[in-house]
Amino acid sequence: MTVFPIENHCYCGNAKPFTECCYQYISGNTAAPTAETLMRSRFSAFCIKDPDYLLETLHKDPRAKESRKALLRSFGNTQWRSLKIIRSHQGAGGQRRGAVEFAAFFVEGEKGGQLHERSRFEFEDGRWFYTDGDILPPITVPRNEPCWCGSGRKLKKCHPD
Ligand SMILES: [Zn+2]
Ligand SMILES: [Zn+2]
């Protein structure tokens, strides 16, 4: 595990410490109650590069094709920096399926990038699992908003374009 995020914000962007947010699910203490909380905790697991949680929360069909080695390799030097949930569809307690559209931002060396995806989730055996997702075109972040990289500067002065 790498260092915890600063200022009592979880990696997923919620205004509470990691230990009171996604870590509860990643540590296995409790199961994520909704598709969105699972999605957030998977994002946080990418931030701390925890392959076990990512495999455990992957639905068994895609999991059969994913290897721990490939996952570790995919972490590479990518640092996930922030998450913007765009919308959630279903995925609440008592439902079988859910979808979450999000934009996740990362840096790789000097370069920044974004993953805009609509992910699908299924509820099985009392837990939510990620099944698959569709990659969508990047969203536009307003240039006067704080940069997604967490620098505290405006986007246009930090990671423009
Ligand atoms: Zn969180
Ligand atoms: Zn930036």
Number of C-beta neighbours around residue 111 at 10 A: 8
Predicted confidence band of residue 6 (pLDDT cuts 50, 70, 90):
low
Q: Write down the pLDDT at residue 5.
A: 57
Q: Write down the pLDDT at residue 106.
A: 94
Domain ranges of the chain: 18-158
The pTM of this model reads 0.92
Task: Tell me if 135 sits within 8 A of 115, measured CB to CB.
Answer: yes
Residues with CB under 5 A from ligand 2 (ion): 147, 149, 151, 158-159
What is the whole-number distance in angstroms between the Cα of residue 48 and the centre of ligand 1? Answer: 12
Predicted confidence band of residue 66 (pLDDT cuts 50, 70, 90):
confident
d(Cα 127, Cα 28) in Å, to the nearest integer?
A: 11
d(Cα 106, Cα 23) in Å, to the nearest integer?
A: 20
Note the ligand closest to the C-alpha atom of 105: 2
Q: How confident is the model over 42-56, as a mean pLDDT?
A: 96
d(Cα 4, Cα 16) in Å, to the nearest integer?
A: 12
Predicted confidence band of residue 110 (pLDDT cuts 50, 70, 90):
confident
Model confidence at 153: pLDDT above 60 = yes
Give the residue carrying structure tokens 């998977």.
Answer: 42
d(Cα 82, Cα 103) in Å, to the nearest integer?
A: 8
Q: Write down the pLDDT at residue 1.
A: 33
What CATH code would you report for 18-158? 3.10.450.50
